[in-house]
Amino acid sequence: MTQAVFLDFYNTLARFDPPREQRQVQVCGEFGLEPSIAKLRRAYPAADDYFYQESVRDPVDGRSEVDRLKVFAEYERRILTGAGLDVSPEIALQIWQKLRRLPSRFALYEDALPSIQSLRKRVQVLGIISNITRNQTHVFKELGLDSQLDFIITSVDVPPGKPHPAIFLKALEEAHTTASEAIHVGDQYHIDVVGAKGVGIRPLLLDRDDFYTEITDCPRIKGLNEVEAYL
């Protein structure tokens, strides 16, 4: 019986507003580049996976400024390459730096709060496990998540974060439950699925845009409203 559901934050419960694809199109236009929204949306998951893998190998925030910029330039280059554009690392870094200066905030997906409120009636514990490199307490409060959840654990609290076992084990400790009684929902295969499976937690891969069609070793869902079917 499922006692606890753990949820990822970025691209699971919330997205950037305006969407990061739109901001990419805006900035790329300043460099004479015209990527499509659809291709950018498909390119982001692989680039995100690269960034997370780099963070696992050696936390990016702890690197020298030169090394950090190399990672960000490569991250941006992979996004644009995935969208069919060939740019140099130098141009990729310039685009990333402009993107970083654009104002943005987080917005919940439409299915986030309704799904959380429905899950509250079915399980004893709901929590967030997220790879966040800085304190985002104010963001969770603004989005109304803090009052809906039993705990929020981030990589700030338990470095280096997912997919390392420590952050998942901390969530189990907070939930006062065992791995076999917990589910973790996230949008990144190597970070969320592999990490959860590593400690015996059942993973659900949230694949809103059908990016992970080749994945067969765990359930793949299109929306948070599907989580209840796996309790």
Q: How many Cα atoms are found within 13 Å in the side-chain-facing hemisphere of 194?
A: 13
CA angle 166, 155, 39 (to 5 degrees): 115
pTM of the entire predicted model: 0.90
User: 3-state DSSP call for residue 221?
Assistant: strand
User: Which tokens belong to 61?
Assistant: 């925030």
Task: Give the CATH fold of the 19-103 domain.
Answer: DNA polymerase; domain 1 (1.10.150)
Q: What are phi and psi of 10, to 5 degrees?
A: -60, 125
Domain range list for the chain: 4-15+106-230, 19-103
Question: What pLDDT is recorded for position 107?
Answer: 96
CA distance linking residue 231 with residue 229, whole number of Å:
6
CATH class assigned to 4-15+106-230: alpha beta
pLDDT in tens, the chain (231 residues): 899 999 999 999 999 999 999 999 999 999 999 999 999 999 998 898 898 888 878 878 789 999 999 999 999 999 999 999 999 999 999 999 999 999 889 999 999 999 999 999 999 999 999 988 777 888 999 999 989 999 999 988 998 889 999 999 999 999 999 999 999 999 999 899 999 999 999 999 999 989 899 999 999 999 999 999 999
Q: Is 131 exposed, middle or buried (0-12, 13-18, 19+ CB in 10 A)?
A: buried
Domains 4-15+106-230 and 19-103 are alike in CATH topology: no
Question: What pLDDT is recorded for position 55?
Answer: 80
Question: What pLDDT is recorded for position 49?
Answer: 85
CA distance linking residue 11 with residue 45, whole number of Å:
10
CA distance linking residue 223 with residue 209, whole number of Å:
10
CA distance linking residue 215 with residue 152, whole number of Å:
28
Q: Which helix (H) or strand (E) holds 152?
A: strand 151-154
- Angle, helices 37-57 vs 20-29, to 10°: value is 100
User: Which tokens belong to 208?
Assistant: 């809103």
Residues 149 and 171 sit within 8 Å (Cβ to Cβ): no
Provide CB contacts within 8 A for 35, sequence distance 6+: 24, 25, 28, 80, 83, 84, 85
Question: Residue for token digits 């809906």?
Answer: 148
